[in-house]
Amino acid sequence: MTTATARPARTIELGEGLSITVDEQGDGTAGTAVLLLHGGAGPRSMAGLAGALSEHARVLTPTHPGFDGRPRPEWCDSVADLAVAYLDLLDALDLTGVMVVGSSIGGWIAAEMALRDTRGRIGCLTLLNAVGIRVGRADEILDTRGVAPAELSKLSFANAAFRPDFASFSDEQRAGMAANQQALAMYAGPAWSHDPKLRRRLRRVTVPVLVVWGEQDGVAPLEYGRAYADSFPQGHFVPVAEAGHFPHIEQPGRTLGAIGDFVDTVVRPSLA
């Protein structure tokens, strides 16, 4: 085990007015790099996972343009745009064999990245209660735009102890949360958090994929997660009990254990 190190956040210019701010932790010599892609809850929702993974690898946690006050050029307004942007980021950093870990809409971005990875930058994916595909009904993913924050919190977290106390938020925090939700709605698109055609394309993803799913998710149900994993040629599914939409927050030990087993039994043997 290595000693985790943190570096000051840096902003990387990718051209055409787009820049990505990245927090970086860990030692790149310890193993492959990990790219963590947050969902609508913002980059803070990945902080604990980033810290734990940084003991074993170099961990990059970017903030999506438009979130947490980060600038966003007008043309960057879809998950596909973000997928290409993050592949450009891996190009700029000259990283290969990267594990891309995506939570919620971050998992959708990760899947789209794998479909577009023509330079072998990605080694594997880990999707945490990801959205992005359509399995059955168009409304199988909860449309959070009309849900009050407190109700959404109940649907997202199985354990009440993890639910934010919105009554204690400052005006600044409320404004920031509202801005993040506006950015989420833009990226989620008119079909809301999925591309009806994405699922059939996932058969072209050749890297191993781990799908970890909080069993008590009120945003995207358990069977949706199973179908997501089954959509990949090398998909692996691990349900996590006593967790909702954020298994890496409510059950970090079980989530990290699933990732570790995936790396040891699937990813590393495939590279041998």
State pLDDT tens for residues 184-207: 999 999 989 999 999 999 999 999
Secondary structure class of 239 (helix, strand, coil): strand
- Whether 154 is covered by a domain: the verdict is yes
Boundaries of domain holding 152: 6-271
Tokens, residue 238: 């691990």
The whole-number pLDDT of residue 5 equals 66
Tell me how crowded residue 6 is: count the other CB atoms within 10 A of its CB. 13
Q: Which of 213, 215, 242, 240 is nearest to 228 (CA)?
A: 213
Indicate the burial class of 77 (C-beta count within 10 angstroms; 0-12, 13-18, 19 or more).
middle
- Whether 1 is covered by a domain: the verdict is no
Tokens, residue 229: 């994993």
Name residues of the chain where pLDDT drops below 50: 1-3
Structural domain tally of the chain?
1
The whole-number pLDDT of residue 167 equals 85
The whole-number pLDDT of residue 146 equals 86
- Specify the DSSP element, H or E, that contains 48: helix 47-53
Phi, psi of 156 (to 5 degrees): -90, -30
Q: Which of 4, 101, 102 is nearest to 56 (CA)?
A: 4
- Whether 122 is covered by a domain: the verdict is yes
Write b or e for each residue in 118-143: b if 16 or more Cβ atoms lie within 10 A of its Cβ, otherwise e: eeebbbbbbbbbbbbbbbeeeebbbe
The whole-number pLDDT of residue 4 equals 57
Strand-strand pairing, 6-15 and 18-25: antiparallel
> Is residue 88 within 8 Å of 65, Cβ to Cβ?
no
The whole-number pLDDT of residue 269 equals 82
The whole-number pLDDT of residue 182 equals 94
- Whether 21 is covered by a domain: the verdict is yes
Q: In what order do the strands lie in the sheet with 209-214?
A: 6-15, 18-25, 59-63, 34-37, 98-103, 122-128, 209-214, 235-240
The whole-number pLDDT of residue 271 equals 63
**Which domain CATH number covers 225?**
3.40.50.1820
The whole-number pLDDT of residue 29 equals 61
